[in-house]
Structure formats: structure tokens, C-alpha cells
């Protein structure tokens, strides 16, 4: 990473995380080193409970680690420190997150949900509203832009969540089992849209999935096992 830092959009060094369960210490992540280049994609598979969500949360700085560093592009962040105030803005510009259960705000319309990312990043509303609508169109849900999420199907909600994750032009998308709540056909459609839109928008992608066919669609394929990533 030190040779050409700008080439990498996301990384970790020595990233470790323990959880205390009763009197036991559970070492969920054990010195994870990760490097993700511009416009590339990495999939992570692994047994339930092996630490995939924990890893994504650490990379997004939504949780603190016990040790190690996170790299957001050239920014080197001590992963065991609580995020400082500026970081949430950096995050909203650098990282987009897609969750299994969408996490749309129920009271807001589809467009307002997407624009919430823009608001958090302090980006200009006018320009980005056009972009939000154009992304919703790419996702095939532009006709739903004034609806509230409860009027949408699961697949449609996830398409909105992908538009929300991409709207600020983040350099990387972290997707945690984004098709986990969808039936096979809808999941396939959503995955195709996610992969295509990341490619089109030149955002790199970290994809946690249980589906080996989706995993194979990324540039790098890994399995998280015994606290570390193994590339397969
Ligand atoms: N806040 C927490 N406190 C204690 N243990 C936790 C906590 N969060 C996760 N864990 C444990 O860490 C392990 C990894 O969890 P997780 O990252 O959610 O796994 P995955 O996403 O791969 O299913 C699991 O054993 C889980 O029970
Ligand atoms: Mg998980």
C-alpha cells in the first residue's frame, strides 16, 4: 500500500477484533490484511458467525477494532480509536453501505431516502437530486421515487438502497448479504444491478454473500475462516 497508496481505495492492516462472551474472549478477526484496488471487487464467503459483518462494520468504521489500521484511500485510520467528528463526512463520501435488510427510513419517500446520503455528506442538493433520480432510473425504480418504502417490494427496496449507497460517488461499496432477504430470481436481478452499477460508477465493491455464483462474479474471491481471509 505504501508504494502507490492512491491506487487502493480500501485496505486494512493487522485488523483484529475480539468479543467477550461471558468469561471467554472470542477472537473474531485475527490480523486481517486487505487491499482493494480502484474499480475492483472482492467477495467474502464464510460460515454464519465467522465475522463477515464485523469485518464490514470495521471497514466502514461503524465499529472499533482492538488493533490495526483501516485505509480509506490515502487516509490511514487507527481502527481501535472511536471515529472523530470529521469521519462521518469522510465516510459518506468514501464508503457506501448496502445491508441485507435495506434500512430505508420508513417515513421518507424513496427519493428522500437517497438524498439523505447527500445531506449527510453536505453535497449540493440540486445537482445531486438529478443524479439520485438518474440512479433510481438505472435501478428501474424511478416511478417509485415519491412512494414510501412500505409500498415497495423487497427487491425494489434493495434497488433504492443501492442507489442511496452510490449517490455520493463513493470509491467503495460494502454490501453485506444484499440478496439475503430476496428470493432467488429477485436476488439474481438485484445482484446483476449491483455489480453493473458499481462497474458503471467506478466504485469498488466488497460483497459478502452465501451464494457461490455471485461470489464468482467478483475479481477476487475469498473465504473468511478462523479470523482471516483466504483467497480462493
Ligand atoms: N456485539 C457483540 N458482542 C459479542 N459477540 C458478538 C457481537 N457481535 C458479533 N458477535 C459475535 O462475533 C461473531 C461474528 O459475528 P458476525 O460478524 O455477525 O458474523 P457473520 O456476519 O459472519 O455471520 C459471532 O460469533 C457473533 O456472535
Ligand atoms: Mg453477517
Residue 136 counted as domain residue: yes
pLDDT of 5 strictly over 60? no
Ligand 1 pocket: which of 23, 53, 223, 226 to mutate (most atoms within 8 A of CB):
53
CA of 46 relative to ligand 2 center, distance in Å: 10
For residue 50, the CA-to-ligand 1 centroid distance in Å is 7
Instruction: Kindly state whether residue 128 falls inside one of the protein's structural domains.
Output: yes
Mean pLDDT along residues 41-61: 98
pLDDT at 7 > cutoff 90: no
Average pLDDT in the 46-68 region?
98
The boundaries of the domain holding residue 138 are 39-65+81-231
Provide the mean pLDDT of the chain: 96
The protein residue with its alpha carbon nearest to ligand 1, atom 17, reads 51
Cα(18) to centroid(ligand 2), Å: 16
Q: Note the pLDDT of residue 6.
A: 52
Q: What does pTM read for this prediction?
A: 0.96
pLDDT reading at 127 higher than 80? yes
Query: Which of 18, 21, 28, 215 to mutate for ligand 1's pocket (most ligand atoms within 8 Å of CB)?
Result: 28
pLDDT for the residue numbered 1: 44
* Distance from residue 91's CA to the centre of ligand 2 (Å): 21
In the 3-class helix/strand/coil scheme, how is the chain assigned residue by residue?
Answer: CCCCHHHEEEEEEEEEEEEEECCEEEEEEEEEEEEEECCCEEEEECCCCCCHHHHHHHHCCCCCCCEEEEEECCEEEECCCCCCHHHHHHHHHHEEEECCCCCCCCCCCHHHHHHHHHHHHCCCHHHHHHHHHHHHHHCCCHHHCCCCHHHCCHHHHHHHHHHHHHCCCCCEEEEECCCCCCCHHHHHHHHHHHHHHHHHHCCEEEEECCCHHHHCCCCEEEEEECCEEEEC
User: In ligand 1, which atom is closest to the CA atom of 54?
Assistant: 17
Position 166 scores a pLDDT of: 98
Residue of minimum CA distance from atom 1 in ligand 1: 19
Task: Please list all protein residues whose beta carbon sits less than 5 angstroms from ligand 2, which is an ion.
Answer: 52-53
Is residue 94 domain-resident? yes
Ligand 1: centre distance to CA 151 (Å): 32
Q: What are φ and ψ of residue 12, in 5° steps?
A: -145, 155
For ligand 1, whether the C-beta of 227 sits within 6 Å is no
In a domain, 194, yes or no: yes
- CB of 46 closer than 6 angstroms to any ligand 1 atom: yes
User: Probe ligand 1: pick from 18, 47, 51, max atoms within 8 Å of CB?
Assistant: 51
Res. 112: pLDDT tops 90: yes
Examine residue 6 and state whether it is found in any structural domain, yes or no.
no
- Is residue 215 in some structural domain? yes
Gap from CA of 2 to ligand 2 centroid (Å) = 31
Per-residue pLDDT tens digits for 16-47:
999 999 999 999 999 999 999 999 999 999 99
Flag whether 149 is in a domain.
yes
The mean pLDDT of 86-109, rounded to a whole number, is 96
Question: 111: domain CATH number?
Answer: 3.40.50.300
Report yes or no on 5 lying in a domain. no
How many domains would you assign to the chain? 1
Amino acid at each position: 500500500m505504501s508504494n502507490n497508496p492512491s491506487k487502493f481505495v480500501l485496505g486494512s492492516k493487522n485488523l483484529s477484533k475480539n468479543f467477550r462472551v461471558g468469561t471467554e474472549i472470542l477472537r473474531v478477526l485475527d490480523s486481517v490484511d486487505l487491499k482493494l484496488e480502484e474499480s475492483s471487487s472482492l467477495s467474502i464467503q464464510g460460515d454464519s458467525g465467522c465475522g463477515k459483518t464485523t469485518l464490514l462494520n470495521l471497514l466502514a468504521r461503524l465499529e472499533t477494532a482492538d488493533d490495526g489500521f483501516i485505509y480509506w484511500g490515502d487516509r490511514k485510520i487507527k481502527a481501535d480509536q472511536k471515529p472523530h467528528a470529521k469521519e462521518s463526512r469522510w465516510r459518506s463520501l468514501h464508503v457506501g453501505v448496502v445491508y441485507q435488510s435495506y434500512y430505508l427510513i420508513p417515513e421518507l419517500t424513496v427519493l428522500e431516502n437517497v438524498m439523505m446520503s447527500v445531506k449527510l455528506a453536505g453535497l449540493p442538493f440540486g445537482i445531486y437530486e438529478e443524479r439520485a433520480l438518474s440512479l433510481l432510473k438505472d435501478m428501474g425504480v424511478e416511478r417509485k421515487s415519491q412512494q414510501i418504502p412500505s409500498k415497495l417490494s423487497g427487491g425494489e427496496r434493495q434497488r433504492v438502497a443501492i442507489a442511496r449507497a452510490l449517490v455520493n460517488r463513493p470509491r467503495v461499496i460494502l454490501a453485506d448479504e444484499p440478496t439475503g432477504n430476496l428470493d432467488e430470481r429477485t436476488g439474481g436481478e438485484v445482484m446483476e444491478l449491483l455489480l453493473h452499477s458499481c462497474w458503471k460508477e467506478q466504485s469498488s465493491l466488497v460483497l459478502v454473500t452465501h451464494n457461490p455464483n455471485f461470489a464468482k462474479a467478483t475479481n477476487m474471491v475469498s473465504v473468511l475462516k478462523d479470523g482471516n481471509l483466504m483467497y480462493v
